[in-house]
Protein backbone atom coordinates (compact mmCIF):
# COMPACT_ATOMS: atom_id res chain seq x y z
CA UNK A 1 0.00 0.00 0.00
CA UNK A 2 1.17 3.54 -0.80
CA UNK A 3 2.53 5.55 2.05
CA UNK A 4 0.40 8.51 0.87
CA UNK A 5 -3.19 8.84 2.04
CA UNK A 6 -5.99 11.09 0.72
CA UNK A 7 -6.58 14.19 2.80
CA UNK A 8 -9.79 16.25 3.01
CA UNK A 9 -11.40 16.72 -0.39
CA UNK A 10 -10.97 20.49 -0.45
CA UNK A 11 -7.26 20.47 0.71
CA UNK A 12 -4.55 19.82 -1.84
CA UNK A 13 -1.63 18.08 -0.16
CA UNK A 14 1.73 19.74 -0.39
CA UNK A 15 3.90 18.01 -2.95
CA UNK A 16 7.50 17.41 -2.01
CA UNK A 17 9.71 16.92 -5.01
CA UNK A 18 12.36 14.38 -4.23
CA UNK A 19 15.36 14.73 -6.52
CA UNK A 20 17.10 11.72 -7.84
CA UNK A 21 19.93 10.72 -5.64
CA UNK A 22 23.26 9.63 -7.06
CA UNK A 23 25.27 8.24 -4.26
CA UNK A 24 29.00 7.76 -4.22
CA UNK A 25 30.93 5.17 -2.42
CA UNK A 26 31.79 7.47 0.40
CA UNK A 27 28.21 8.54 0.81
CA UNK A 28 26.85 4.99 0.82
CA UNK A 29 29.36 3.41 3.11
CA UNK A 30 28.68 3.72 6.78
CA UNK A 31 31.22 5.32 9.11
CA UNK A 32 31.99 1.98 10.71
CA UNK A 33 32.76 0.47 7.35
CA UNK A 34 35.19 3.29 6.65
CA UNK A 35 37.04 2.64 9.89
CA UNK A 36 37.21 -1.13 9.72
CA UNK A 37 40.38 -2.39 8.27
CA UNK A 38 40.00 -5.09 5.71
CA UNK A 39 41.88 -8.04 7.03
CA UNK A 40 41.66 -11.36 5.32
CA UNK A 41 39.01 -10.08 2.89
CA UNK A 42 39.06 -9.75 -0.90
CA UNK A 43 40.97 -6.95 -2.49
CA UNK A 44 39.82 -3.37 -2.34
CA UNK A 45 38.96 -3.33 -6.03
CA UNK A 46 36.50 -6.15 -5.67
CA UNK A 47 34.99 -4.61 -2.60
CA UNK A 48 34.66 -1.34 -4.37
CA UNK A 49 32.85 -2.91 -7.27
CA UNK A 50 30.60 -4.78 -4.90
CA UNK A 51 29.81 -1.65 -2.96
CA UNK A 52 29.23 0.33 -6.14
CA UNK A 53 26.86 -2.30 -7.44
CA UNK A 54 24.97 -2.30 -4.17
CA UNK A 55 24.89 1.48 -4.15
CA UNK A 56 23.63 1.60 -7.70
CA UNK A 57 20.97 -0.95 -6.82
CA UNK A 58 19.91 1.13 -3.84
CA UNK A 59 19.95 4.26 -6.01
CA UNK A 60 17.77 2.55 -8.60
CA UNK A 61 15.39 1.42 -5.88
CA UNK A 62 15.27 4.93 -4.47
CA UNK A 63 14.70 6.43 -7.90
CA UNK A 64 11.91 3.93 -8.56
CA UNK A 65 10.40 4.78 -5.20
CA UNK A 66 10.65 8.49 -5.98
CA UNK A 67 9.11 7.98 -9.41
CA UNK A 68 6.38 5.89 -7.85
CA UNK A 69 5.75 8.63 -5.28
CA UNK A 70 5.72 11.24 -8.04
CA UNK A 71 3.26 9.15 -10.06
CA UNK A 72 1.07 8.71 -7.03
CA UNK A 73 1.25 12.45 -6.41
CA UNK A 74 0.24 13.09 -10.01
CA UNK A 75 -2.64 10.65 -9.67
CA UNK A 76 -3.57 12.27 -6.40
CA UNK A 77 -3.45 15.68 -8.12
CA UNK A 78 -5.75 14.37 -10.85
CA UNK A 79 -8.09 13.06 -8.18
CA UNK A 80 -7.90 16.36 -6.34
CA UNK A 81 -8.56 18.29 -9.56
CA UNK A 82 -11.54 16.03 -10.25
CA UNK A 83 -12.75 16.57 -6.70
CA UNK A 84 -12.31 20.33 -7.07
CA UNK A 85 -14.17 20.23 -10.37
CA UNK A 86 -16.93 18.16 -8.81
CA UNK A 87 -16.97 20.58 -5.90
CA UNK A 88 -17.34 23.52 -8.29
CA UNK A 89 -20.13 21.68 -10.10
CA UNK A 90 -21.80 20.96 -6.80
CA UNK A 91 -21.39 24.60 -5.81
CA UNK A 92 -22.99 25.65 -9.10
CA UNK A 93 -25.80 23.17 -8.59
CA UNK A 94 -26.16 24.47 -5.05
CA UNK A 95 -26.44 28.05 -6.34
CA UNK A 96 -29.02 26.91 -8.89
CA UNK A 97 -30.93 25.06 -6.19
CA UNK A 98 -30.74 28.07 -3.90
CA UNK A 99 -32.15 30.20 -6.72
CA UNK A 100 -34.94 27.69 -7.23
CA UNK A 101 -35.59 27.61 -3.50
CA UNK A 102 -35.78 31.40 -3.43
CA UNK A 103 -38.15 31.35 -6.39
CA UNK A 104 -40.18 28.68 -4.62
CA UNK A 105 -40.34 30.86 -1.51
CA UNK A 106 -41.46 33.82 -3.59
CA UNK A 107 -44.04 31.61 -5.29
CA UNK A 108 -45.26 30.37 -1.92
CA UNK A 109 -45.44 33.94 -0.63
CA UNK A 110 -47.53 34.92 -3.64
CA UNK A 111 -49.75 31.89 -3.12
CA UNK A 112 -50.11 32.70 0.56
CA UNK A 113 -51.06 36.26 -0.33
CA UNK A 114 -53.51 34.96 -2.92
CA UNK A 115 -54.86 32.48 -0.37
CA UNK A 116 -55.32 35.24 2.19
CA UNK A 117 -57.09 37.35 -0.42
CA UNK A 118 -59.22 34.38 -1.41
CA UNK A 119 -60.10 33.73 2.22
CA UNK A 120 -61.08 37.38 2.63
CA UNK A 121 -63.18 37.14 -0.52
CA UNK A 122 -64.71 33.93 0.81
CA UNK A 123 -65.65 35.59 4.08
CA UNK A 124 -67.11 38.54 2.18
CA UNK A 125 -69.00 36.15 -0.08
CA UNK A 126 -70.33 34.25 2.92
CA UNK A 127 -71.55 37.48 4.47
CA UNK A 128 -73.13 38.46 1.15
CA UNK A 129 -74.70 35.01 0.77
CA UNK A 130 -76.13 35.24 4.29
CA UNK A 131 -77.54 38.67 3.47
CA UNK A 132 -78.98 37.42 0.20
CA UNK A 133 -80.48 34.38 1.93
CA UNK A 134 -82.12 36.68 4.44
CA UNK A 135 -83.35 38.86 1.59
CA UNK A 136 -84.64 35.81 -0.27
CA UNK A 137 -86.45 34.69 2.86
CA UNK A 138 -88.05 38.12 3.10
CA UNK A 139 -88.98 37.95 -0.59
CA UNK A 140 -90.52 34.52 -0.06
CA UNK A 141 -92.69 35.95 2.69
CA UNK A 142 -93.66 38.81 0.37
CA UNK A 143 -94.36 36.36 -2.45
CA UNK A 144 -96.56 34.31 -0.15
CA UNK A 145 -98.41 37.45 0.87
CA UNK A 146 -98.71 38.51 -2.74
CA UNK A 147 -99.99 35.04 -3.59
CA UNK A 148 -102.66 35.37 -0.92
CA UNK A 149 -103.47 38.87 -2.16
CA UNK A 150 -103.62 37.64 -5.74
CA UNK A 151 -105.97 34.82 -4.85
CA UNK A 152 -108.08 37.29 -2.90
CA UNK A 153 -108.12 39.67 -5.87
CA UNK A 154 -109.09 36.84 -8.20
CA UNK A 155 -111.96 35.84 -5.93
CA UNK A 156 -113.02 39.47 -5.55
CA UNK A 157 -112.90 39.99 -9.31
CA UNK A 158 -114.92 36.86 -9.96
CA UNK A 159 -117.51 37.94 -7.40
CA UNK A 160 -117.60 41.47 -8.83
CA UNK A 161 -118.18 40.17 -12.35
CA UNK A 162 -120.58 37.36 -11.52
CA UNK A 163 -122.57 38.90 -8.65
CA UNK A 164 -121.43 42.45 -8.03
CA UNK A 165 -122.75 43.86 -11.30
CA UNK A 166 -126.07 42.11 -10.70
CA UNK A 167 -126.30 43.64 -7.23
CA UNK A 168 -125.43 47.07 -8.58
CA UNK A 169 -128.15 46.78 -11.21
CA UNK A 170 -130.72 45.58 -8.68
CA UNK A 171 -129.70 48.28 -6.24
CA UNK A 172 -130.11 50.95 -8.91
CA UNK A 173 -133.40 49.55 -10.11
CA UNK A 174 -134.76 49.42 -6.55
CA UNK A 175 -133.39 52.75 -5.42
CA UNK A 176 -135.79 55.59 -4.63
CA UNK A 177 -133.91 57.84 -6.99
CA UNK A 178 -134.40 55.51 -9.96
CA UNK A 179 -137.99 54.67 -9.03
CA UNK A 180 -138.79 58.34 -8.59
CA UNK A 181 -137.33 59.23 -11.97
CA UNK A 182 -139.06 56.27 -13.61
CA UNK A 183 -142.33 57.31 -11.95
CA UNK A 184 -141.87 60.85 -13.18
CA UNK A 185 -141.34 59.58 -16.72
CA UNK A 186 -144.39 57.33 -16.41
CA UNK A 187 -146.51 60.16 -15.03
CA UNK A 188 -145.36 62.47 -17.78
CA UNK A 189 -146.19 59.85 -20.40
CA UNK A 190 -149.63 59.39 -18.89
CA UNK A 191 -150.17 63.14 -18.80
CA UNK A 192 -149.17 63.49 -22.41
CA UNK A 193 -151.41 60.58 -23.34
CA UNK A 194 -154.23 62.10 -21.36
CA UNK A 195 -153.83 65.39 -23.13
CA UNK A 196 -153.67 63.73 -26.52
CA UNK A 197 -156.74 61.65 -25.70
CA UNK A 198 -158.59 64.70 -24.48
CA UNK A 199 -157.92 66.52 -27.73
CA UNK A 200 -158.95 63.50 -29.76
CA UNK A 201 -162.10 63.10 -27.65
CA UNK A 202 -163.18 66.68 -28.28
CA UNK A 203 -162.46 66.21 -31.94
CA UNK A 204 -164.42 63.00 -32.24
CA UNK A 205 -167.23 64.41 -30.07
CA UNK A 206 -167.53 67.39 -32.39
CA UNK A 207 -167.82 65.00 -35.29
CA UNK A 208 -170.42 62.90 -33.45
CA UNK A 209 -168.28 59.73 -33.62
CA UNK A 210 -168.83 56.98 -31.04
CA UNK A 211 -165.70 55.89 -29.00
CA UNK A 212 -165.81 52.33 -30.16
CA UNK A 213 -165.96 53.46 -33.79
CA UNK A 214 -162.68 55.40 -33.50
CA UNK A 215 -159.63 53.79 -35.13
CA UNK A 216 -157.46 54.91 -32.21
CA UNK A 217 -159.48 53.08 -29.59
CA UNK A 218 -157.66 50.03 -28.03
CA UNK A 219 -159.44 48.29 -25.16
CA UNK A 220 -156.23 46.16 -24.40
CA UNK A 221 -154.03 49.14 -23.66
CA UNK A 222 -154.55 48.84 -19.92
CA UNK A 223 -153.48 45.21 -19.90
CA UNK A 224 -150.54 46.03 -22.11
CA UNK A 225 -149.32 48.61 -19.62
CA UNK A 226 -149.70 46.15 -16.74
CA UNK A 227 -147.78 43.42 -18.55
CA UNK A 228 -145.02 45.80 -19.54
CA UNK A 229 -144.66 47.02 -15.96
CA UNK A 230 -144.40 43.49 -14.62
CA UNK A 231 -141.88 42.53 -17.31
CA UNK A 232 -139.74 45.52 -16.46
CA UNK A 233 -139.69 44.54 -12.81
CA UNK A 234 -138.73 40.93 -13.52
CA UNK A 235 -136.30 41.38 -16.37
CA UNK A 236 -132.58 40.39 -16.01
CA UNK A 237 -130.46 42.09 -18.66
CA UNK A 238 -128.52 39.75 -20.93
CA UNK A 239 -125.25 41.47 -20.10
CA UNK A 240 -125.63 40.39 -16.47
CA UNK A 241 -126.17 36.81 -17.60
CA UNK A 242 -123.02 36.99 -19.73
CA UNK A 243 -121.00 38.36 -16.82
CA UNK A 244 -122.31 35.70 -14.46
CA UNK A 245 -121.31 33.00 -16.96
CA UNK A 246 -117.76 34.36 -17.39
CA UNK A 247 -116.39 35.26 -13.93
CA UNK A 248 -112.77 34.98 -15.21
CA UNK A 249 -113.27 37.59 -17.89
CA UNK A 250 -110.34 39.96 -18.37
CA UNK A 251 -110.54 43.69 -17.77
CA UNK A 252 -110.33 44.44 -21.49
CA UNK A 253 -113.19 42.04 -22.23
CA UNK A 254 -115.18 43.51 -19.35
CA UNK A 255 -114.68 47.04 -20.67
CA UNK A 256 -115.68 45.97 -24.18
CA UNK A 257 -118.77 44.16 -22.92
CA UNK A 258 -119.95 47.02 -20.71
CA UNK A 259 -119.16 49.86 -23.12
CA UNK A 260 -122.09 52.12 -24.02
CA UNK A 261 -123.21 51.52 -27.59
CA UNK A 262 -125.41 53.86 -29.60
CA UNK A 263 -128.65 51.97 -30.27
CA UNK A 264 -128.83 53.59 -33.66
CA UNK A 265 -125.52 52.03 -34.70
CA UNK A 266 -126.08 49.50 -37.52
CA UNK A 267 -125.61 45.88 -36.54
CA UNK A 268 -126.21 46.51 -32.86
pTM of the model as a whole:
0.42
Is residue 153 a part of any domain in this protein? no
The least confident of 11-15, 109-113, 220-224 is 11-15
Answer yes or no: is pLDDT of 7 > 50.
no
Cβ contacts of residue 217 below 8 Å, gap of 6+? 211
Is 214 part of a structural domain of the chain?
A: no
| d(C-alpha 151, C-alpha 193), whole Å | 55
Is 59 a domain residue?
yes
Domain assignment of residue 51, yes or no = yes
What pLDDT does residue 133 have? Answer: 94
Number of domains in the chain: 1
Q: Which pLDDT score is estimated for 16?
A: 44
Q: Show the CA angle centred on residue 12, arms to residues 10 and 18, nearest 5°.
A: 165
Maximum mean pLDDT: which of 103-107, 162-166, 227-231:
103-107
C-beta contacts of 22-31 below 8 A and 24+ residues apart: 22/59, 23/55, 23/58, 23/59, 24/55, 25/51, 25/52, 25/55, 28/54, 28/55, 28/58
Tell me: pLDDT of 240 over 70: yes
For residues 11 and 242, the model is more confident at: 242
pLDDT tens digits for 106-147?
999 999 999 999 999 999 999 999 999 999 999 999 999 999
3-class secondary structure, 219: coil
Q: What is the tens place of the pLDDT at every residue in 170-190?
A: 888 888 888 888 888 888 988
Rounded Cα distance, 63 and 68, in Å: 8
Percent of the chain residues past pLDDT 90, beyond the cut: 34
Q: Please tell me the predicted confidence (pLDDT) of residue 193.
A: 86
Give residue 69's domain range.
25-104
Assess if residue 50 is contained within a domain. yes
Would residue 81 count as lying in a domain?
yes
Residue 244 has what pLDDT?
84
Q: Is residue 158 part of a domain?
A: no
pLDDT digits (tens, 9 = 90+) for 33-66: 444 444 445 577 788 888 888 888 999 999 999 9
Residue 266 has what pLDDT? 54
Measure the CA angle with vertex 225, ends 222 and 227; round to 5°. Answer: 110
Q: Is residue 87 part of a domain?
A: yes
**Is-contact 200 214, C-beta < 8 A?**
yes
Q: Is 21:69 a contact under the CB 8 Å cutoff?
A: no
Amino acid sequence: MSALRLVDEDVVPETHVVPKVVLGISAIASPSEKQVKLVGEPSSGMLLETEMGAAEERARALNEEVERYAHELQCQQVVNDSIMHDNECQQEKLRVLEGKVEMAHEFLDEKHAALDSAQDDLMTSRVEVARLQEEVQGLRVKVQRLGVSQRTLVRDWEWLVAEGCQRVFERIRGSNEYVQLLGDVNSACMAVGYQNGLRAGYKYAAQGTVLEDSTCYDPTAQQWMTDATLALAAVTPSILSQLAATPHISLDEFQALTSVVDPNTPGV
